[in-house]
């Protein structure tokens, strides 16, 4: 197995990165070549490189997914309804905007019982329940029922449960306050300042929802819940990201702002929306990051979160159990027809009474959906952070180096953040502003240190959006 050590050119220097040991360094080309030739043999190195070599080749634990281990879910996901009370113009979900079966209260309680049984058997004292949609609070009675039941069930046992929800924030202030009092984390969709947000996420009657969502965001900011703001960025809204970041810093108190580029869907195409240019997004992301840091707010994009290493971009392959209103248990919260369109099967089994009936073959299949099995990711320095992205929205069955726009923006942001981590702020900004420099770093067949002595620059080319 190749050591997980990578490098990319930054003008006349080499950025070296070992994600599993957390080592990042800026070295010259001669040092990179010497390290590549020596491998983990310190006797073959100059004295001044021995310490660096020992650091990058230190023993690590590869964040490999489970193989034959017992079922041990990262969390329980509950989809109260696929319905929604607003009319987002780019929404991935094909479900009707305002009509969908709701999960029954009995099924919600059974899901809680089955989950608590599993994690208790595994010896855990903490668990997590996450509500997805549609819009989960379009079925508020079900959410209340599950939260109150789960809280009562764990009160005597000492089990600690976290409640999280992904929501659009379009509901009354009373419900908003209840959510803030009972949830640990709220991921709130807010796509920018009024013009951008209202263009992206109107109400069913076509009117803007910005003022309602901003009110909800302020309530959550003052509550016990951690607020995470999630913004979908399009080609039209990308230039406004820094202004939006400043508004957030002044008006709200989120722990994190998550900027994500648009995933194309039939509705998005019909509305005329397109994803932003990857370099424009990386540049505006970096500017927004600097603004939000000044307010003590973290900025992330899901494919370039350097705070953890992983082999799966999302809960897929991590034993997440996501229960739909009909009792189906899946590894992904997206619609079944979306997986099938990609030739995927995310079905794990069914909820039967107070037990999960999970097929062993299905569990093995889903656990195998990880970065180790994605050819495009094999030699990329982002592979333990991006992990190839969403299986439904991002095709990675291409040879190493044949990157698309998702890959390009991920690589640009990752390199910029690594340079800033070392305090190389001026170098990061200069590199990101220099077309030749960043293209040379991005278009490579391999980032591995072992390729440092070879010519591995691919001619700059326009990527194909997927």
Predicted confidence (pLDDT) per residue in 25-64, tens digit = 999 999 999 999 887 677 778 899 999 999 998 887 777 6
100 vs 80: CA distance, rounded Å: 10
> What per-residue confidence (pLDDT) applies to 157?
84
Mean pLDDT of 211-232: 98
What contacts 362, CB < 8 A, 6 or more positions away? 345, 347, 348, 349
pLDDT in tens, 57-111: 888 777 766 777 888 899 999 999 999 999 999 986 644 555 678 999 999 999 9
Mean pLDDT of 140-153: 97
Beta strands in 325-449 (DSSP E): 328-330, 347-352, 355-358
Greatest mean pLDDT among 58-62, 131-135, 296-300: 296-300
Q: Is 453 left (phi over 0), alpha (psi -120 to 50) or beta?
A: alpha
Lowest mean pLDDT among 71-75, 195-199, 300-304, 372-376: 372-376
More confident residue, 279 or 390: 279
Average pLDDT over the chain reads 91
129 vs 141: CA distance, rounded Å: 16
Given pLDDT bands bounded at 50, 70 and 90, which one contains residue 403?
very high
Model-level pTM?
0.93
More confident residue, 463 or 236: 236
Per-residue pLDDT at 23 exceeds 50: yes
Mean pLDDT of 220-237: 98
Compute φ and ψ for 31, nearest 5 degrees. Answer: -65, -40
Calculate what percentage of the chain has a pLDDT beyond 70: 94
3 vs 10: CA distance, rounded Å: 22
DSSP 224: S
Tokens of 60: 């690590």
Mean pLDDT of 148-163: 93
Given pLDDT bands bounded at 50, 70 and 90, which one contains residue 285?
very high
If 0-12 CB within 10 Å is exposed, 13-18 middle and 19+ buried, where does residue 99 land? exposed
Mean pLDDT of 144-156: 95
Calculate what percentage of the chain has a pLDDT beyond 90: 72
Compute φ and ψ for 23, nearest 5 degrees. Answer: -90, 130
Lowest mean pLDDT among 220-224, 280-284, 399-403: 399-403
């Amino acid at each position: 197995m190749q050591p997980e050590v990578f490098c990319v050119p930054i003008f006349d220097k080499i950025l070296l990165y070992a994600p599993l040991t957390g080592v990042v360094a800026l070295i010259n080309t001669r040092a990179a070549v010497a390290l590549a030739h020596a491998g983990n043999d310190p006797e073959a190195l100059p004295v001044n490189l021995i310490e660096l070599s020992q650091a990058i080749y230190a023993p690590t634990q590869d964040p490999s997914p489970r193989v034959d281990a017992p079922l041990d879910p990262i969390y329980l996901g509950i989809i109260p309804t696929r319905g929604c009370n607003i009319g987002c113009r780019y929404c991935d979900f094909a479900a009707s905007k305002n009509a969908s079966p709701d999960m029954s209260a009995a099924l919600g309680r059974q899901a809680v019982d089955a989950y608590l049984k599993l994690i208790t058997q595994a010896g855990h004292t903490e668990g997590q329940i996450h509500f997805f949609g549609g819009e989960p609070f379009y079925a508020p009675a079900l959410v209340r029922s599950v939260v109150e039941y789960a809280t009562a069930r764990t009160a005597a046992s000492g089990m600690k449960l976290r409640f999280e929800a992904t929501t659009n924030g379009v509901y009354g202030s009373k419900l908003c306050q209840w959510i803030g009092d009972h949830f640990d984390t709220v991921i709130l969709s807010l796509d920018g300042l009024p013009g951008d947000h209202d263009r992206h996420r109107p109400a069913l009657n076509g009117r803007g929802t910005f003022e309602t969502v901003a009110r909800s965001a302020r309530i959550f900011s003052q509550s016990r819940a951690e607020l995470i703001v999630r913004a979908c960025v399009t080609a039209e809204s990308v230039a406004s990201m820094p202004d939006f970041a400043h508004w957030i810093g002044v008006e709200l108190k989120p722990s994190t702002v998550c900027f994500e580029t648009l995933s194309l869907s039939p509705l998005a195409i019909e509305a005329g929306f397109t994803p932003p240019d990857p370099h424009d997004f990386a540049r505006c992301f970096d500017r927004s990051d600097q603004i939000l840091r000044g307010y003590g707010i973290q900025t992330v994009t899901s494919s370039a979160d350097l705070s953890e290493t992983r082999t799966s971009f999302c809960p897929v392959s991590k034993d997440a159990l996501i229960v739909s209103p009909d009792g189906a248990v899946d590894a992904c919260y997206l619609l079944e027809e979306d997986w099938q369109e990609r030739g995927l099967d995310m079905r794990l089994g069914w909820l039967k009474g107070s037990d999960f009936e999970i097929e062993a073959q299905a569990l093995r299949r889903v656990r195998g959906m990880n970065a180790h099995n994605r050819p495009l990711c094999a030699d990329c320095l982002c592979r333990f952070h991006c992990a190839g992205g969403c299986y439904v929205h991002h095709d990675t069955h291409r040879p190493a180096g044949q990157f698309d726009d998702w890959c390009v923006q991920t690589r640009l942001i990752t390199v910029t953040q690594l340079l800033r981590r070392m305090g190389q702020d001026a170098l990061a900004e200069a590199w990101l502003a220099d077309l030749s420099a960043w293209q040379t770093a991005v278009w490579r067949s391999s980032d591995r240190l072992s390729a440092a002595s070879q010519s591995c620059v691919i001619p700059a080319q326009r990527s194909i959006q997927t």
